[in-house]
Structure 1
Amino acid sequence: MKNRFNQTSMLLAHILRRDLFKLLIWAVVLSVFSGGFASGIYEIYGDDSAGLMGLFDMMKNPAMIAMIGPTAAAAETYTVGAMYAHQMLLFTALLYAILSMLHVISTTRKEEDNGTAELLRAFPVGRLANTTAIVIEMLLLHAVIIVLSTGLLQVQNIPGMDFYSNLLFSASLGMQGILWGIISLIFAQLAANAGTARGLSFLTLGLFYIGRMMTDYNAPSLSWLNPLGWSYLGNVYVEDNWTPILIGFLASLLFLGLAYLLEQARDIGAGYLPERTHSPYARRSLLTLPGLLFSLQKTFIMCWLFALFLSGAMYGSIFADMDTFIGDNEMLQAMFVVEGGYTIQEQFMSVLFVVLSLLTAIFIVGSFMKLVAEEKKGRLDQLYATKLSRKTLYWQHVMLAGILGAGGQFSAILGLYLAQRSVMITPFSLWDMTVAGIVWLPAVLFFVGLLSLLIGWLPRLSVLIWVYVAFAFFISYFGQLLNFPAYVEGFNVFSYIPHIPLEEWKWGTTVFLILFTFLLTLAGFFGYSKRDLISDK
């Protein structure tokens, strides 16, 4: 048994040296993101009890519970700290989880695919040594993040946010990073390659997020069975319950043991899930470039279209509960029935499409990133050895991303429409819902233009598109809460889109965004057609 962990300390020292710069950036960014905005919120709401109570009433809306989870606070205990934890924990936990899963799979399963792990096994290195070193690295990283985040919250010296509660807030997020990193280890053993492992990990995370949407409002006790629920069920700054941390720790040990059992029983480079057997003869569709591109991304595309449809359907299913939520509450009626007689459903729908459009943007960015990903792996050399031109390949990827953007947006719209139609007495028409959702498409396609520019001129830095995606989400979600300056809001493409039906369609803005996106894409093409191919091999 000891031999299975042989040279773990040596591997740990190696990966810490290799990943040090990335881990330092990771630690600083996550610490600032999770704990750096508390003082800003306190300045806005600390002396505004009426505004805080209005926000408390709004957050009990079933739509908001579906998005960010419930709070155990009552009116008298809904402090700035309770509001900060309620707003931040779930979405920040998703960020911790995604980064952890990407890092773990990249340093385990992807290294097997690249042949690095096989070279290590040629030396007297234990079968479980590399996995153990990665787990220890994740533990050390999140321990540092917990310390930094707690310290950052502490130095802001906000009334009601003491050290004990600040530590629980940070530990809740750190445990989510560790837990989901270890969960991805299981998929790294089950899958046949790193791409499938990532897909299964993200699919599992998405299903658990959707699952807690159903339980948080209708059956809160069932949310204790959901790993994502452990991020906010500690009720930080209200009850300060450490039980979810203990459950997450025990679950992590259990999942790690399962990952060990799976890894030691399989061959290197192999997986437990069977791979599809293909015909020795190519289908006619594979003889065309569009058919080839679609075939390579078919599973990715189908999963995302289904996920977008399901996300829309889940949000649409709670439309009927909103009228019950308002009831006879005069304050809520004043908040949600605005000038012009718009209902709470119409207001929620206009905000909801920000979230759904951002998901569509992530979908098409992931698809378009395949162009530079395949280039880095050296697979485009074989294509360019034929008569295929860079112009054709580039614009085919752009066209595919555009089609997927429209398809993804409509998939979310259709899910939202069918779900609200099944629960509302007077549902929205498909046309009204399509207009409210399709207006966001120019902003979604803007991400393609921005990524085109990076791929064309700075291909090794194309991952920076994810920084802008995170920025757009953060400004869209926290912009009104933190009162960012207008010039900061101006960098967020979603801020230029009208919230239909509350606002009128801005044709000038729509045309400008489409033209600007085309110019970015064209500039990217000029760079792509002239530069050398890159390779990570």
Structure 2
Amino acid sequence: MTGALVGTGPLIRLALRRDRIILPIWIVLLSIVPVATISSYDQFYPTAASRAGLVASAAANPSFALLYGPAFNLGAAGGFIAWRMGGFLALLTGLMAVFTLTRHTRAEEDSGRAELLASTVVGRYAPLTAALTVTGGASVLIGVLQASTLASKVPAAGSVALGASTALAGLVFTGVAAVAAQLGEYSRTANGIGTAVLGVAFLLRGAGDSTSDAHWLSWLSPLGWAQQIRPFAEERWWVLTLPVATTLVLFAVAYALLPRRDVGVGLLPPRLGPSEAAPSLRSPFSLAWRLQRGPLLGWLVGLAVGGALFGTIAQGISGLVGGTEQSRQIFERLGGSRGLVDAFLATMVSLFAMLSSLYGVQATLRMRTEETSLRLEPLLATRVGRLRWAASHLVFAFLGSALLVLVGGVLLGLSNGLRSGDVGRSVGNMVEAVAVQVPAAWVIVAVAALIFGLLPKLATAAWGVAALALLISMFGPVVNAPQVLLDVSPFQHPPKVPGQLFTAVPLVVLLAVSAVVLATGLAGWRRRDVG
């Protein structure tokens, strides 16, 4: 077995070098979010009466349990943060684990680098072990940083429990991704399996927590285990044994499946295609559609579900925000000034725009994947020009991101309208809100195209740009960040309708910026070498 692990150390260093940009962003973002927002609890709920109102509002609306999970101790800051953020922290850490593990296993096999390394003195199990070490280590580091930063402000036991729940969720989905990497033929298949398992885990947790007769469903989900540890509410440490045991089993299964397949081949047989391409695949746009449709449909489903769920809680948001003038001012900074419901809806549409920009970055960087996998050069050797090929992908990045915001916003307005009894007005307001938020998302997509065109070796830095914009917009207003810092994010400039009056000037500026940045990126792409 020792010989099978030869080369693990250098592969770990290689993975850390390749992830020197994106992995620290994940770690820092997921680590500082709880401690950065914990001070807002006293601002939103300074009195016993306001905290009692919070408890009553959370208990009266099952949609809150569906989204956030069970509320065990809303009378304390730690319990509130564990309720509002614990489930989402576990979800995002699991997502990070799936993407990172797949990138260093199946994606390496897709590119041919794994086979090249296998011809050297590298053990059979070394690549998988290195990927597990990096991904699992990142999950553990996130949990440790969460616990250590929270412990200075809230009880240490609860801080450790919350950090452990996040770390173990990441380890479980590291194991899920490791098994998926053995099953899938390609990296996108492995990512699809991993994210599908993550989605099912969220749905099981949500169904179990929001349905009084089916609480047992939550115990089938690793995300449910993360919350059943009950940080800051008489912690149940024995629950930790469930994710630990599951992680060990998944790791063992992945190691057992690895020698049963060849490098570059998955255990699940691929579906054979026709011997000749159909007429629908005889253009760059058709090929781009085939490559982009899977992620686009997955994002559409996710934002549609998110819009429908968040719309159901809009009418009860006043009970969660609190009744002080300071709390209302904080929330209005996030999304408007005409009322808490309008501010909440505007904030949600802005959040959907931020998420859609992540899809736009993913769709744009698909061009870099095609370039580095050597599939682009044969295509450009035909009559297909560089700009025509780039446009076939960028149309999905720009129009796809707009479609995502539209779908999420319409379903947000529809579900809110059904609760309030005014569907037409609610949906109309959301369509207007979508229209003003899309230009901000396009700025991020244009920056990704700029990096691809001018600095292709730093293409992953586009994720850092998007993450920075999200971090500033989501948490800057809560911690009273200076306006000069808030203005760095394009999502701070559009008017937050329906909570604010519509103004066209910021939208014109954002569209002009995105056009100039995109043109510069395409000019760089036209002049640089391929590869």
Normalised to the residue count of structure 2, the TM-score between the two structures is: 0.85
* 1:31 to 1:237, Cα distance in 2 relative to 1, 3 A: farther
Secondary structure at the counterpart of residue 480 of structure 1: coil
* 1:218 to 1:486, Cα distance in 2 relative to 1, 3 A: farther
Instruction: List aligned pairs for 1:217-228, cutoff 5 A.
Output: 217-219=210-212, 222-228=217-223
Secondary structure at the counterpart of residue 387 of structure 1: coil
Q: Of 447, 463, 466, which residue of structure 1 is paired with 2:463? A: 466
* 1:356 to 1:120, Cα distance in 2 relative to 1, 3 A: same
Q: Of 488, 492, 511, which residue of structure 2 is paired with 1:491? A: 488
Q: Partners in 2 of 1:422 and 1:315 — Cα distance? A: 13
RMSD (Å), alpha carbons: 3.7
Deviates more, 1:449-458 or 1:255-264: 255-264
Q: Report whether the alignment pairs 1:102 with 2:99.
A: yes
Q: Report whether the alignment pairs 1:14 with 2:21.
A: no
Instruction: List aligned pairs for 1:72-221, cutoff 5 A.
Output: 72-75=72-75, 78-79=76-77, 81-118=78-115, 128=125, 130-154=127-151, 157-158=152-153, 160-162=154-156, 164-219=157-212
The offset of 1:471, in angstroms, is 2.1
Q: Partners in 1 of 2:23 and 2:374 — Cα distance? A: 32
Q: Partners in 1 of 2:100 and 2:420 — Cα distance? A: 43
Deviation per CA, 1:123-182, whole angstroms, max 9, x where unpaired?
89775554345434544554455455544445xx33x432x3333232222212211111
The offset of 1:397, in angstroms, is 2.7
One-letter amino acid of the counterpart of residue 225, structure 1: L
The offset of 1:193, in angstroms, is 0.9
Q: Partners in 2 of 1:23 and 1:34 — Cα distance? A: 16
* 1:269 to 1:148, Cα distance in 2 relative to 1, 3 A: same
Q: Report whether the alignment pairs 1:304 with 2:296.
A: no
The offset of 1:442, in angstroms, is 0.9
Q: Of 426, 429, 435, which residue of structure 2 is paired with 1:438? A: 435
Gap runs ≥5 in structure 2 = none
Secondary structure at the counterpart of residue 264 of structure 2: coil
Checking the alignment, whether the CA contact within 8 Å between 2:21 and 2:460 is kept in structure 1 is no
One-letter amino acid of the counterpart of residue 439, structure 2: P
Q: Percent identity?
A: 25
One-letter amino acid of the counterpart of residue 434, structure 2: G
Q: Partners in 1 of 2:515 and 2:173 — Cα distance? A: 38
* 1:210 to 1:335, Cα distance in 2 relative to 1, 3 A: farther
Q: Report whether the alignment pairs 1:294 with 2:304.
A: no
Q: Partners in 1 of 2:446 and 2:503 — Cα distance? A: 21
Q: Partners in 1 of 2:49 and 2:118 — Cα distance? A: 60
Checking the alignment, whether the CA contact within 8 Å between 2:307 and 2:412 is kept in structure 1 is yes
Q: Partners in 2 of 1:293 and 1:31 — Cα distance? A: 32
* 1:56 to 1:84, Cα distance in 2 relative to 1, 3 A: farther
1:527 is matched with 524
Checking the alignment, whether the CA contact within 8 Å between 2:12 and 2:130 is kept in structure 1 is no
1:349 is matched with 345
1:504 is matched with 501
Q: Partners in 2 of 1:265 and 1:171 — Cα distance? A: 34
2:450 is matched with 453
Secondary structure at the counterpart of residue 6 of structure 2: helix
2:265 is matched with 270
Deviates more, 1:366-375 or 1:297-306: 297-306
Q: Partners in 2 of 1:108 and 1:397 — Cα distance? A: 26
The offset of 1:115, in angstroms, is 3.9
Deviation per CA, 1:182-213, whole angstroms, max 9, x where unpaired?
11112112211112111222233234335544
* 1:30 to 1:193, Cα distance in 2 relative to 1, 3 A: closer
Checking the alignment, whether the CA contact within 8 Å between 1:32 and 1:152 is kept in structure 2 is no
Secondary structure at the counterpart of residue 307 of structure 1: helix
Checking the alignment, whether the CA contact within 8 Å between 1:336 and 1:347 is kept in structure 2 is no
Normalised to the residue count of structure 1, the TM-score between the two structures is: 0.84
Gap runs ≥5 in structure 1 = none
One-letter amino acid of the counterpart of residue 195, structure 1: R
Q: Partners in 1 of 2:362 and 2:236 — Cα distance? A: 38
Q: Of 232, 235, 243, which residue of structure 2 is paired with 1:237? A: 232
Checking the alignment, whether the CA contact within 8 Å between 2:413 and 2:429 is kept in structure 1 is no
